[in-house]
């Protein structure tokens, strides 16, 4: 699952030129002064035809290795490589742009921002934090919606994944203050950038979810899923569909990871099977809790879902819930059915074998997230001090 293509305006590393605005939108109008080759490659990137756009940009760079469009084309090569999930190659391309654009701060800042996505996909959380922290000092070179909302939200998620819960809470708050300020400036209208910004604030599927690092996904999910739901609720193409797909994909990957949990390395096969089941139940309990919070936000006071994207999310959650219940109803290794399973089969309610036990710091972070999300959104007048 990927963000839509981001097109970047031309800059020169050979001499100073004024940078055209770098927009973080689905399709950016390429300046009229661009070559036809650049326009064609950009159109392919905007259409998410990543292999074709990659080929066109590489041809352009081969035919015109030095021009006022060189680094812009290099950056879009990176974006095409991202779309193809060639993360290491994309990261290398972005690093080259950063090193070559000292006189083009906007292009350099955007290359760094895209680099953080690559590091996230590669699982290098230290580099994600380092790059995003560096970008805070360059926020004036980024579009305001990225600087004040996406950047702190993604930094909050990065800190949550590595267990930096106090910093995660701080940056999530800054993101929410920032988005509140931007919405206030829109004076009641829904700006074009809002659904996409909320999508990028919540996007979290670049890393493949697996059993060993599942907790690093569950920690930021409570916050990220709210941003994705809000994007879906706007019912604005393509971002609402993308947000729904993102959220559905995360939950499906979570339950699949639980279903295929590895058997612990233990000399006693029965003990290993019991340990695996207990771990599956623990993590299933966390997923159930997080889904319940999402449902409560999607359907306040038993209201009907609004919009096709939200309906798709709720339908997918129902499917995930059935799969979790099937796990919880399985016969424990070497034993009969649990009381909860018997009660469930007789129509007595949702099966719940065990409550998960996160660490004390993790528990406090999750509780603070729930408390923050249950409150009225922060006022835009509050200074996030980014």
Task: Of 251, 164, 266, give the one whose Cα is nearest residue 214.
Answer: 251
Task: Of 230, 359, 226, 202, give the one whose Cα is nearest residue 286.
Answer: 359
Q: Is the pLDDT of residue 364 over 80?
A: no
**DSSP readout, 72-114?**
HHHHHHHHHHHHTT-HHHHHHHHHHHHHH-TT-HHHHHHHHHH
Q: Is the pLDDT of residue 255 over 70?
A: yes
Q: CA-CA distance, 79 to 70, in Å (whole number)?
A: 14
Average of pLDDT values for 22-45?
70
Tokens of 352: 């719940």
Query: 354: which DSSP letter?
Result: -
Average of pLDDT values for 97-124?
93
> With left for phi above 0 and alpha for psi between -120 and 50, is residue 266 left, alpha or beta?
beta
**pLDDT of res. 336:** 53
Average of pLDDT values for 267-293?
91
Chain segment 295-311, per-residue pLDDT in tens: 998 876 555 656 899 99
Average of pLDDT values for 313-331?
94
Chain segment 38-77, per-residue pLDDT in tens: 999 999 999 999 999 999 999 999 998 888 888 999 999 9
The model's confidence at residue 206, banded by pLDDT at 50, 70 and 90, is: confident
Task: Of 47, 72, 74, 79, give the one whose Cα is nearest residue 58.
Answer: 74
Q: CA-CA distance, 339 to 341, in Å (whole number)?
A: 5
Domains of the chain: which residue ranges? 1-119
Q: CA-CA distance, 172 to 103, in Å (whole number)?
A: 32
Q: CA-CA distance, 151 to 149, in Å (whole number)?
A: 6
**pTM to 2 decimal places:** 0.81
Pick the CATH number of 1-119 from 3.40.50.1980, 1.25.40.10, 3.30.70.1520, 3.40.50.300: 1.25.40.10
Mean pLDDT of the residues in the chain: 82
Instruction: Decide: 243 and 309 in contact? Cβ < 8 Å.
Output: yes
Query: 5: which DSSP letter?
Result: P
The three-state DSSP-derived secondary structure of 320-341 is HHHHHHHHHCCCCCCCCCCHHH
Comparing 101-110, 181-190, 277-286, the range with the smallest average pLDDT is 181-190
Neighbours of 65 (CB within 10 A): 9
Comparing 58-62, 273-277, 341-345, the range with the smallest average pLDDT is 341-345
Neighbours of 93 (CB within 10 A): 24
Q: Is the pLDDT of residue 274 over 80?
A: yes
Q: Is the pLDDT of residue 344 over 90?
A: no
* Residue whose tokens read 């035919």: 63
Tokens of 312: 């798709």
**pLDDT of res. 12:** 36
Q: Is the pLDDT of residue 27 over 70?
A: no
Q: Is the pLDDT of residue 102 over 90?
A: no
Q: Is the pLDDT of residue 32 over 80?
A: no
Between residues 325 and 332, which one has the greater pLDDT?
A: 325
Angle between helices 70-83 and 50-63 (to 10 degrees): 150
**Cis peptide before 386, with omega less than 30 degrees from 0?**
no
């Amino acid at each position: 699952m990927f963000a839509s293509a981001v097109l970047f305006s031309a800059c020169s590393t050979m001499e100073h030129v004024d940078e055209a605005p770098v927009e973080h939108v689905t399709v950016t109008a390429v300046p009229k002064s661009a070559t036809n080759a650049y326009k064609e490659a950009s159109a392919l990137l905007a259409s998410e035809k990543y292999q074709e756009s990659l080929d066109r940009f590489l041809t352009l760079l081969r035919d015109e290795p030095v021009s006022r469009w060189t680094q812009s084309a290099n950056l879009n090569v990176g974006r095409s490589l991202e779309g193809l999930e060639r993360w290491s190659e994309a990261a290398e391309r972005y690093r080259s742009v950063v090193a070559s654009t000292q006189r083009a701060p906007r292009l350099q800042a955007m290359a760094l921002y895209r680099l953080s996505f690559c590091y996230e996909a590669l699982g290098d959380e230290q580099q994600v934090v380092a790059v995003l922290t560096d970008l805070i000092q360059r926020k004036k070179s980024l579009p305001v919606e990225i600087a004040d909302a996406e950047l702190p939200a993604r930094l909050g998620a990065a800190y949550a994944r590595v267990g930096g819960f106090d910093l995660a809470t701080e940056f999530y708050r800054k993101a929410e203050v920032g988005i509140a300020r931007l919405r206030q400036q829109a004076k009641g209208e829904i700006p074009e950038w809002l659904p996409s910004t909320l999508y990028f604030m919540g996007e979290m599927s670049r890393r493949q979810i697996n059993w060993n690092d599942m907790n690093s996904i569950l920690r930021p999910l409570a916050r990220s899923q709210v941003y994705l739901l809000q994007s879906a609720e706007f019912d604005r193409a393509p971002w609402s569909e993308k947000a729904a797909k993102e959220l559905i994909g995360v939950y499906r990957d979570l339950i699949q990871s639980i279903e295929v949990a590895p058997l612990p390395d233990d000399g006693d096969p029965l003990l290993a099977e019991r340990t695996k089941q207990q771990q599956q139940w623990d993590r299933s309990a966390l997923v159930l809790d997080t889904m319940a919070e999402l449902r409560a936000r999607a359907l306040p006071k038993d209201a009907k879902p609004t919009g096709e994207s939200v309906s798709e999310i709720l339908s997918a959650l129902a499917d995930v819930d059935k799969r979790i219940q099937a796990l919880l109803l399985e016969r424990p290794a070497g034993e009969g059915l649990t009381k909860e399973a018997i009660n469930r089969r007789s129509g007595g309610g949702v099966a719940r074998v065990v409550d998960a036990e996160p660490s004390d710091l993790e528990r406090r972070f999750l509780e603070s997230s729930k408390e923050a999300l249950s409150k009225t959104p922060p006022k835009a007048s509050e200074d996030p001090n980014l």
